[in-house]
Amino acid sequence: MTTPAFEGRQELVQRLNQAVGLGPVEEVTKSVQTTLAEMIGQQRLRLPEELTRPVEGSYARRLLYLSEEHGYVVVAMIWGPSQGTALHDHDGVWCVEGVLQGQIDVTQYAHLEEAGDRWRFEPEKTVTAGVGSSGTLIPPFEYHTIANHLADSSSVTVHIYAHELRKAHIFEPEGEGWYRRTVRELGYSN
């Protein structure tokens, strides 16, 4: 699969290859988080305009790199004004996210209980992240929403996943903290 060229790609891939060999997931994700924060903060990671265009009706997911050797993927997510996700998980896959442009709000949720496909959650905290900010999601602490609350501009985030994320669980609100769990297949935007 051919992935696009972008400024900083060679350095990013080299540093990610080193990071994934560190062993424990906490060390891997800390190294990946440091890499993203440094490269974005020092403007050594830039995407061409065609990769940062939002799409109508939903955020965009664009594959930037897939490591054949290590399995990790780099994905750009483009958030048009007021776009965001439903409450979701990453299907047990660790992820490091960094803000490349604009700002996003990440709200983490505590899983309280479940009854079949009905799950109960409680919002824990919301972090507003600007350019250069990065964070990690390590299962089982992975339930969250992401939103661009800017009404007049797009935001761009870069996500590094342990491996390609083909599906995730989406939690649709039913009231009183209860959500219906469904599976959503994931793909990439043009």
> Would you say 113 and 181 are in contact if contact means Cβ atoms under 8 Å apart?
no
- Number of structural domains found in the chain: 1
Q: In which residue are the tokens 């935007």 written?
A: 189
pLDDT mean over 11-35: 95
Task: Identify whether 32 is part of a domain.
Answer: yes
Task: Identify whether 63 is part of a domain.
Answer: yes
pLDDT reported for residue 1: 62
Q: In which residue are the tokens 């060999």 written?
A: 21
Task: Identify whether 28 is part of a domain.
Answer: yes
134 contact partners, CB below 8 Å, separation of at least 6: 33, 36, 37, 40, 96, 97, 98, 99
How would you write 39-50 as a 3-class SS string? HHHCCCCECCHH
Q: Point out which residues pair with 161 in neighbouring strands.
A: 73, 95
Name the DSSP letter for residue 58: B
Task: Identify whether 3 is part of a domain.
Answer: no
pTM: 0.94
pLDDT per position as a tens digit, 32-71:
999 999 999 999 999 999 999 999 999 999 999 999 999 9
What is the dihedral sign for C-alpha 168, 61, 6, 103?
A: negative
pLDDT reported for residue 65: 97
CATH code for the domain of 48 = 2.60.120.10
pLDDT per position as a tens digit, 82-108:
999 999 999 999 999 999 999 999 999
Task: Identify whether 43 is part of a domain.
Answer: yes
Task: Identify whether 4 is part of a domain.
Answer: no
